Amino acid sequence: MINLLLIFLLLYLGWFWLDSLRAREIAVGICLAACEQRDLQFLDQAVALHRLGLAWRSEGLRLRRVYRFDFSEEGVGRRNGYLVLRGLRLEELSFGLPDQARDA
């Protein structure tokens, strides 16, 4: 019985590790695309997991991950933004900057 529980625990840890890697890759891709769209520089090409929790929504129980990232407006200075993924879907993205209306 103990061996079976140990096998399930190892399988769960393996799934969690792979799911976390996939979520991190998705977060990096979202940040890179959002920075390019806003003419910002995505610094270090990386995100850092800030918080991990559970979220209950209509589609069921999902992992909720909050990632932080750094960006620069003009190549000088470093600002922080954050990204929230619920499961593998984007829930929120914030640069902490005011919305800028672009003239065409």
For residue 49, being part of any structural domain is answered with: yes
For residue 104, being part of any structural domain is answered with: no
For residue 33, being part of any structural domain is answered with: yes
For residue 42, being part of any structural domain is answered with: yes
List, for residues 17-56, the tens digit of each pLDDT value.
999 999 999 999 999 999 999 999 999 999 999 999 999 8
List, for residues 61-82, the tens digit of each pLDDT value.
999 999 999 999 887 789 999 9
Note down the domain range covering 76: 2-94
For residue 101, being part of any structural domain is answered with: no
**pLDDT number for residue 59:** 80
Residue 35 neighbours by CB distance under 10 Å = 18
Q: What pTM value is reported for the model?
A: 0.83
List, for residues 2-13, the tens digit of each pLDDT value.
899 999 999 999
**pLDDT number for residue 75:** 77
How many domains is the chain built from? 1
For residue 41, being part of any structural domain is answered with: yes
**pLDDT number for residue 99:** 62
How far apart (Å, rounded) are the C-alpha atoms in residues 67 and 82? 6
Q: Could you write out the DSSP letters of every residue in the chain?
A: -HHHHHHHHHHHHHHHHHHHHHHHHHHHHHHHHHHHHTT-EE-TT--EEEEEEEEEETTEEEEEEEEEEEEESSSSS-EEEEEEEETTEEEEEE-S----PPP-
**pLDDT number for residue 18:** 96
For residue 69, being part of any structural domain is answered with: yes
